[in-house]
Amino acid sequence: MEEDLTTDLLVLQSHLDGMLERVQHNSLALRRFQVFEMGLLRLNSLAEMIEHILNDAKAFFDLDVISFCLLDEKGDIAKYLEEDGYDYRNTEGLILLQDKGKLQGILGASGRPFLGRYQPDNCSVFFSESQKPASVAILPLTRRGNYMGSLNLGSYKTDRFIIDMATDFVEHMVSVVSICLENNLNFETMRRTSLVDTLTGVNNRRFLEQRIGEELDRSQRNDQPLTCLFLDIDYFKKVNDTYGHQVGDQVLMAVAGAIKKQLRSNDVLARYGGEEFVALLTNIGEDMACAIAERIRISIKELPIQFNDEGIAVTISIGSATYLPGRRVQMSSAEIAAKLIQNADAALYQAKNNGRNRVEIGGMVLAVKDLPDSKIA
Ligand SMILES: Nc1nc2c(ncn2[C@@H]2O[C@H](COP(=O)(O)OP(=O)(O)OP(=O)(O)O)[C@@H](O)[C@H]2O)c(=O)[nH]1
């Protein structure tokens, strides 16, 4: 009798130990998840989110392999990452899928997580052959019933993810990841649309105003000149009056595209107003600026724009001014920026006065106040 009691007590004790161990394990997992979640909420961009997921989640959740799959049907995500200089093509574990069908094929229309043994048919898209896990959790990221991608966790242990495992915890995690992903994507889209001119697709004036200060600081730091071109289509009112506003819009788009083609990818081009554009050419002094402006002028003159089989002749006038960094800086970036644009605009005015379809050089801008007009051309 006493022996039976002792055995029962030992069994009970071992049950309790097991339960305690599970509670401790779960509370540790929960704490880790809270830290991971807080990290996710603090992120400011899509690139940061990708890094957090791929680099930190593996350690947080003690995984052997992880991949982050994003549905990118229109190629916007690739474009955003590229624009931010993020090397998404060589980021291990990041998968941009253009076809929603693949995710639906694996996870079904319900969007339920898949936990279990690695199956080549379903899982090879998410894990490379060299890092093939034994068990996986393929967690769909969805918002409002739409797939956005999946978070794919892998372990070399076959029993880490099993079919009947409770999924409450992972489902909570993927809803947080899904919300963060949606926020980051919305933010990236908003950031771009608010700084891009919707008609021509080049940047808008607000973008230019933000960027010019950064470019001037860079110019100062690297002791390299920065040139500003002010470009204005000639007699554009006549194009509108003759062919209509819609054709005028087509001309604006064609001209913006042609100017952009003559610039380097790190130069800035913005639509400043109606038919005016401003370009910032980094590390370009006056001589080079003149050659580039001439190249732009000729490319616009030769632009083949057709309306009802009739060619529309378009020309552009360009004014240029160049900032020369120096040791004596007595003006703020904002003051230098205003002066640079003002001088380029004045040169444009000259180009218009001197007959249009021409380039005028407005001279150098220095950051010193004591030179009258700071203009030494
Ligand atoms: N189609 C179209 N026209 C625009 C847009 N924004 C401004 N404009 C037109 O651009 C024209 C600008 O005319 P003006 O400022 O007189 O200049 P211009 O005819 O180009 O003459 P110069 O600059 O002196 O050579 C006006 O007719 C505006 O209506 C736009 O987004 N689309």
pLDDT digits (tens, 9 = 90+) for 166-184: 777 788 888 899 999 999 9
Nearest-CA residue for atom 27 of ligand 1? 237
Please tell me the distance from the alpha carbon of residue 115 to that of residue 122, in angstroms, as a whole number: 11
Q: Which fold has domain 205-374?
A: Alpha-Beta Plaits (3.30.70)
> Is 134 strand, coil or helix?
coil
Provide the residue ranges of all domains of the chain, joining segments of one domain with +: 43-193, 205-374
SS3 185: helix
* Ligand 1 midpoint to CA 254 (Å): 15
Residues contacting 324, CB < 8 A, separation 6+: 225, 285, 364, 365, 366
Alpha carbon distance 362, 343 (integer Å): 6
User: Average pLDDT in the 231-235 region?
Assistant: 98
Q: What is the DSSP string of 317-371?
A: EEEEEEE---S---S-HHHHHHHHHHHHHHHHHHHHHTTSS-EEEEEEE-S-SSS
Q: For a pLDDT cut of 70, what percent of the chain falls above it?
A: 96
- Residues designated catalytic: 275
Determine contact, residues 322/286, Cβ cutoff 8 Å: yes
| Residue whose token pair is 């080079």 | 288
Instruction: Check pocket membership of 349 for ligand 1, CB cut-off 6 A.
Output: no
Instruction: Please give the pLDDT value at position 252.
Output: 97
**The pLDDT value given to residue 374:** 47
Of 350 and 331, the structure prediction assigns the larger pLDDT to 350
pLDDT of residue 2: 75
Nearest ligand 1 atom, CA 241: 27
Predicted model pTM:
0.65
Mean pLDDT of the chain: 89
> In whole angstroms, what is the distance from residue 90 CA to residue 96 CA?
12
- Domain spanning 43-193, CATH class: alpha beta
Nearest residue (CA) to ligand 1, atom 18: 235
Ligand 1 in reach of 274 Cβ (< 6 A)? yes
Per DSSP, the three-state class of 327 is coil
pLDDT of residue 109: 67
Q: How far is the CA of 358 from the centre of ligand 1 (A)?
A: 18
How confident is the model at residue 231, as a pLDDT?
Answer: 98
CA dihedral 125, 126, 132, 136 (to 10 degrees): -120
For residue 152, count other CB atoms closer than 10 A to its CB: 24
Cα of 232 vs centre of ligand 1, distance in Å, is 9
> Which ligand 1 atom sits closest to the C-alpha of 234?
25
pLDDT tens digits, residue range 263-297? 998 899 999 999 999 999 999 999 999 999 999 99
- Per-residue confidence band for 375, with pLDDT thresholds at 50, 70 and 90: very low
Of the candidates 297, 306, 283, 292, the residue with the CA atom closest to the CA atom of residue 357: 297
Cα 155 to Cα 162: distance, rounded to the nearest angstrom: 11
pLDDT over 90 (residue 132) = yes
249 within ligand 1 shell (Cβ under 6 A): yes
pLDDT for the residue 149? 95
* Arithmetic mean of pLDDT, 116-128: 89
